[in-house]
Amino acid sequence: QVVLEESGGGLVRPGGSLTLSCEASGTIYNIDYMSWYWQPPGRQRSLVATVTDTGTTNYADAVKGRFTISRDTAKNTVYLHMNNVKPDDTAVYYCNARIVTVGSLPRNFWGQGTQVTVSS
């Protein structure tokens, strides 16, 4: 069994910064990639950023230059450093990871989500 636990959400003012964390735990053999998704109010969930096991990163156009995704492989943890946040960044942020567990094929796992609200 694998669990992704997110933390770090909350209320932040426009122009401010916030860092989200997501730790994967369980019978993990390898993590291929880890990602952050967001779901703004009334909209579908979509990809924000991804980091692979080799450190390659990819970002949605809306966050390029403002958000940075990083990964601590030893801790099975991914971070999303959010800078110069905007009201449009308000959303529930979900952690996603493609994980190989012992004796199993790779699977996608999701965290429970953490709310980020950007407001003055």
Using alpha carbons, list the distances in angstroms from residue 39 to 6, 77, 95, 111.
15, 21, 11, 13
Over residues 20-45, the mean pLDDT reads: 96
Phi-psi domain of 112 (left: phi exceeds 0; alpha: psi -120 through 50; beta: other): alpha
Over residues 29-42, the mean pLDDT reads: 96
**What mean pLDDT is reported for the chain?**
96
- At residue 1, the pLDDT reads 86
User: pLDDT tens, 4-13?
Assistant: 999 999 999 9
Query: Which helix (H) or strand (E) segment is 118 a member of?
Result: strand 114-118
Confidence of residue 37 (pLDDT cuts 50, 70, 90): very high
Query: Which helix (H) or strand (E) segment is 26 a member of?
Result: strand 18-26
Contacts of 73 (CB under 8 A, 6+ apart): 31, 53
Over residues 14-33, the mean pLDDT reads: 96
Confidence of residue 116 (pLDDT cuts 50, 70, 90): very high
User: pLDDT tens, 53-100?
Assistant: 999 999 999 999 999 999 999 999 999 999 999 999 999 999 999 999
Question: What percentage of the chain has pLDDT greater than the value 70?
Answer: 100
